[in-house]
Structure 1
Amino acid sequence: MITKILLEVLAELGEAPVLIDRRFSREIGEVGALSARKIAAAPALAVRLILVLLKRPRFCVFFCTNRSFSFLVDVVLGELLRFFRIPTVNYIHTRGYSELAERGRIWRFLVSRLLRGAIANVCLGETLKADLLPFVAEGTISVVKNTVEVPPPEAGMRQRGHILFLSNLLEEKGADVFVEMAIEMCGISPDRRFSLVGAPVDDGLLAELRERVRKSGLSGRIVFLGPLFGAEKWNALASAEVLVFPTRYRFEAQPLTIIEAFSVGVPVVATNIGSIGDLVEDGVNGWLVAEANVNSVKEAVLKATSEPATSDRLAVGARRTFEQMYSREVFRAEWSRVIAGMRK
């Protein structure tokens, strides 16, 4: 999604972007996993990049990764960009470069080489700068916050007591915490219902969570809707009183699902990791929890939903946050500033 929006925004800014996609992972379960197909695809990616570089583009926006194999491919691609002397912006949608560098001197050298090879490094939030500062000067780091597609005008209305989980059904994303929290809250809040929207990555986990709900006798109030797309996804999201995102994903940066929730005026309860603390502000557009555990998430959800006036205030704050910080207009202005800086 961000790639599509970036290409559109660059075109709006008078550029003529050409996309060189990786073609590595076809589904979420393949991300970060080494395979023969990925190894075979790497040389073809380098060739496609060289063919474009021979046309002497004015600059390159380079989506950097830090998973071991993909990172090593990035290092090679970075050297090609350096060889052809193409001004480069590293566009970083993850965190963990400092952790990667801790593997040893060679890894630290490669991280520094990749990040310093660009004239600018773009990350998603102020908090994420700390991951890059051991390797590059602060003046070379810019923050461009994520944005999302505009939701359809016919998206559903918020419903009191509807608590939503929207992400891939992974323990790392907190699906297990959400289910356990939902079971406990059903015991104390008879007017609340809970929905999980997302693709099951681990069939064993999905079966375990379904069985846990079945045994609790709450299958009518805790429902698994599976992956939803387009209008169906937006309707499910817009109908929530609050989105719960109890992630413990080690590379979490700035989840689009939170920004999507804000765009339709839905406040968020989320773990304070990555750049999530740059998005969610306690009592303004949701609540942060220090750890993704059942008790802390339950308490935050109760604070966000127990009083209608509080719920409504958080909903207004969520929409205001989107308009002021994460709209497409803000995204375009921030990229315009980055490009202007490259021309100096």
Structure 2
Amino acid sequence: MCFIGNLIGRNPGFITTQGEILSDLFEKDGFEVVSASSNLNPVIRLFDVLRTIVGNARKIDILIIDVFSGRAFMLAEFASLLGKVFRIPSVLVLRGGNLPEFTEEHRSRVCRVLARADSLVAPSTFLSAEMSPFGMTAEVIPNSIPIDGYSYRHRNVVSPSLIWMRSFHEIYNPHLALDAFALVKKEHREATLVMAGVDKGLEESVKTKADEMGLAESVRFPGFLDLSGKNEEFSKADIYLNTNRIDNMPVSVVEACAMGLPVVATNVGGLPYLLTHGETGLLVDSEDAEQMADAVLQLLSDPDLSERLSRNGRKLAERSSWKQVRKDWEHLFDRILDRKGLTESESSGKALVGDRR
């Protein structure tokens, strides 16, 4: 196998991507894996991807390519073309909640690239459904998380200890978390908020706003969290806020569920496909701080609701365990190799090569 994508999470301080997680998990399980690229320079990253495919074309049985919108789409565009040139079976994995809008704007270009795939995969029912009007049928295979690595604490009763964890970027709308928290704090003066993640241009403005609102003493900014950091911070919190304007299948929400935190999330993109309101989370309108605050207050006053969301959230997260997700991927690989006429003996000993820079 060869995994292609923006694998920049291999660099310290950058968020780990699903492409990295999948390639590492398959390699850990004994598969031969190649992946590219972790280079931070987008131009060099593109050339690294091309070099990796060309240099290992004879070894690769299946090419797995992450497809993002915007400038990152070019990576999938060139990688899929090389897959066709070298007649390598390919799986294109649809990523990002903005991909349907990007496809609408660049329909012929996107459809041309996706048509090169032997199979399309989407991590959510939402993205699969959104791409269907373009004539695309994508099999749903959830994102994987290391479920055993997350410390679960069942929340029978919750405190007003809130946590938000995404990049400080416009699409993740961190200001909404702060606005909702300010309303909660009017009812619970002991309330606290942790806002964790890498800065994508808004962190300083959020800090300034917290200070201007008189919340600086109640809001903490621990920065980027690795798995150990997530376990530490989430164990201290009781409610997770997700404020995105655009989303697909946010791994951070699944991580919060894995650790037993009731989730309050904006009702956008793939979130209503991922969460069932009142059963695995609470969904509120985007941009509505009052609704988000009311949902938090509801959790604080209704132990039965908090307990149900905590219990069911963990069950939801367990569907993303590697044990289950690996079965889905292996079934897909078997079908593709069968269609291409590759027997197990012919394909063994080939497959995946890895970028570890």
Equivalent-residue separation in structure 2 for 1:275 and 1:154 (angstroms): 25
Equivalent-residue separation in structure 2 for 1:230 and 1:224 (angstroms): 17
The 5 A counterparts of 1:266-281 are 266-281=261-276
Equivalent-residue separation in structure 1 for 2:141 and 2:123 (angstroms): 5
Q: Is the 8 A contact 1:242 1:266 kept in 2?
A: yes
Equivalent-residue separation in structure 2 for 1:92 and 1:153 (angstroms): 26
Moved more, 235-244 or 11-20: 11-20
Query: 1:334 and 2:333 equivalent?
Result: no
Task: Count residues in correspondence.
Answer: 320
Q: Is the 8 A contact 2:141 2:329 kept in 1?
A: yes
Please give the secondary structure, in 1, of the residue aligned with 2:121: strand
Alpha-carbon spacing, 1:254–1:343, altered in 2? closer, same or farther (3 Å): same
Structure 1 position 44, deviation (Å) = 3.9
Alpha-carbon spacing, 1:153–1:234, altered in 2? closer, same or farther (3 Å): closer
Q: Is the 8 A contact 2:150 2:255 kept in 1?
A: no
The 5 A counterparts of 1:48-197 are 48-53=52-57, 55-67=58-70, 69-103=71-105, 107-138=106-137, 141-150=138-147, 152=149, 160-197=159-196
The 5 A counterparts of 1:214-253 are 214-249=211-246, 252-253=247-248
User: Which residue identity does 1:302 align to in structure 2?
Assistant: L
Q: What is the TM-score with the length of structure 2 in the denominator? A: 0.81
Alpha-carbon spacing, 1:135–1:235, altered in 2? closer, same or farther (3 Å): same
Alpha-carbon spacing, 1:58–1:171, altered in 2? closer, same or farther (3 Å): closer
Percent identity between the two aligned chains: 21
Larger RCO, structures 1/2 (Cα 8 Å, 6+ apart): 2
User: Which residue identity does 1:315 align to in structure 2?
Assistant: S
Q: Is the 8 A contact 2:123 2:140 kept in 1?
A: yes
Equivalent-residue separation in structure 1 for 2:25 and 2:207 (angstroms): 42
Structure 1 position 153, deviation (Å) = 6.7
Please give the secondary structure, in 2, of the residue aligned with 1:160: coil
Query: 1:318 and 2:307 equivalent?
Result: no
User: Which residue identity does 2:121 align to in structure 1?
Assistant: V
What RMSD, in angstroms, separates the aligned Cα atoms of the two structures?
Answer: 2.4
Alpha-carbon spacing, 1:231–1:180, altered in 2? closer, same or farther (3 Å): same
Alpha-carbon spacing, 1:5–1:214, altered in 2? closer, same or farther (3 Å): closer
Number of the residue aligned with 2:3: none
Structure 1 position 316, deviation (Å) = 0.9
Equivalent-residue separation in structure 2 for 1:189 and 1:101 (angstroms): 45
Alpha-carbon spacing, 1:77–1:192, altered in 2? closer, same or farther (3 Å): same
Deviation digits for residues 294-340 of structure 1 (CA, Å, limit 9, x no counterpart): 112112222223222321221111112112x2222221121122112
Structure 1 position 10, deviation (Å) = 3.1
Structure 1 position 137, deviation (Å) = 4.6
Query: What runs of 5+ residues in structure 2 fail to find an aligned partner?
Result: 1-15, 339-357
Q: Is the 8 A contact 1:177 1:294 kept in 2?
A: yes
Moved more, 284-293 or 257-266: 284-293
Please give the secondary structure, in 2, of the residue aligned with 1:217: coil
Please give the secondary structure, in 2, of the residue aligned with 1:343: helix
